[in-house]
Amino acid sequence: MTLLIDNATVARVLTMEATIEALEGSYRDLARGEGVCRPRIDIHVPTSDARKTYRWGTMEGGSTAGYFAIRMKSDVVYEREAGGVVTEEKYCMRPGLYCGLILLTAIETGEPLAIVNDGVLQHMRVGADGAIGAKYMAREGARVLGMLGSGGMARSHVEALRCVRPIERLQVFSPTKANREAFAREMASRHGIEAVPCDAPEEIYRGADIVAALTNSAVPVIDGRRLEPGTHVINVGGGGRLDPASLERVDVYLRFGNAPSPEGLEDVALADEYLTWRARPHAPGASRNRPKGRAHGVALPAKAVYLAELMEGAKPGEAKRGRVSSAQITWSERGNLQGAQFHAVAGKVYELARAAGLGREIPTEWFLQDIRD
């Protein structure tokens, strides 16, 4: 039987510790040649509303550990500007609904094992990436977290970062006062930490060991001029980019890795976070939605260290973290390894749900046929 696993089941069985462990294992397999993935691919098709675009996105990968997965997203996307802030918005069918699914298969048999809603898992895997970066790059005694954003990604990052560093104080800003105040109360109650809602974004940088931007902004939101010595930077949103001042001040840049090139086509290796194909590419408004042009690859090649090097201890540094001074400013990001994430984490969810007797069983035969394709 194939399992249909919803978000409530994922939230019930998946812990942040298990997510971090699964992702580190997947990245290790990839570095050893035991895993494989490709960059995310997006297809854009204009809708009848010139302000909106249909976006289909997929990413996939698997490993000899036993699982393969493809993650699929079906969104209508558009930009919204309010109070000088530009955000990317999306929905499926209507605002407030989204469509993201993971199809998990077994590499030994090809059998479809599970279809998993990706909402909770998505937040968990991105938060776990932030924790992995902090584990290898943030100062060992990092206790103060400065955060821009108070949504779902912010929640998962507070939980994840507390798995790898002794976070005691949260300083958070988001544009809506009620949201940041409610978020601070929630984090203080849930994690037993001091949580302070800030009235201005610049306040989150003061004394922060880790600065995390976790927004749906279409443009960079971190102000590199305000980063204090020794800060570790995490950035989700902002078009995937840091502002020029941050790039200038970063001393060590941890990139988890690059998706391998296709077999026999080593010269077409790409470090871009995703690739986009677009219908009507030259029509007016076709490039309305950001980011325009190529998605960034290796942002700071001269300052880059790769996760595989740190895992194997090939680079010098304090506790194998690539940091040689407590005053260095560091930045970590996954790179284009999304496809290496979903088979590992969805595989763990499948095992846990199966063991707990959770998930809705549907006949595997519904997905099979006796006509060769």
Domain boundaries, the chain: 139-256+296-335
Mean pLDDT of the chain: 92
Q: Helix H segments across 59-168?
A: 119-137, 152-161
**Is residue 115's pLDDT more than 90?**
yes
**In the numeric block, which tokens belong to residue 113?**
């094992």
The predicted model scores a pTM of: 0.91
**Calpha distance 246→224 (Å, rounded):** 4
**In the numeric block, which tokens belong to residue 149?**
């954003």
Q: Looking at the domain 139-256+296-335, which fold is it?
A: Rossmann fold (3.40.50)
Name the pairing type of β-strands 35-37 and 53-63. antiparallel
The single residue listed with the structure tokens 């006062």 is 177
**Is residue 202's pLDDT more than 80?**
yes
Q: How confident is the model at residue 319 (pLDDT cuts 50, 70, 90)?
A: very low
Dump pLDDT digits (tens) for 137-196. Answer: 999 999 999 999 999 999 999 999 999 999 999 999 999 999 999 999 999 999 999 999
**Calpha distance 263→288 (Å, rounded):** 35
Q: What are residue 91's phi and psi, to 5 degrees?
A: -165, 165
* Residue (of 281, 284, 235) closest to 255 by Cα position: 235
Q: Is 357 exposed, middle or buried (0-12, 13-18, 19+ CB in 10 A)?
A: exposed
**Calpha distance 283→45 (Å, rounded):** 11
DSSP β-bridge partners for residue 318:
none
Say if CB 234 and CB 332 are below 8 A apart. yes
* One-letter identity of residue 73: K
Q: What are residue 238's phi and psi, to 5 degrees?
A: 65, 30
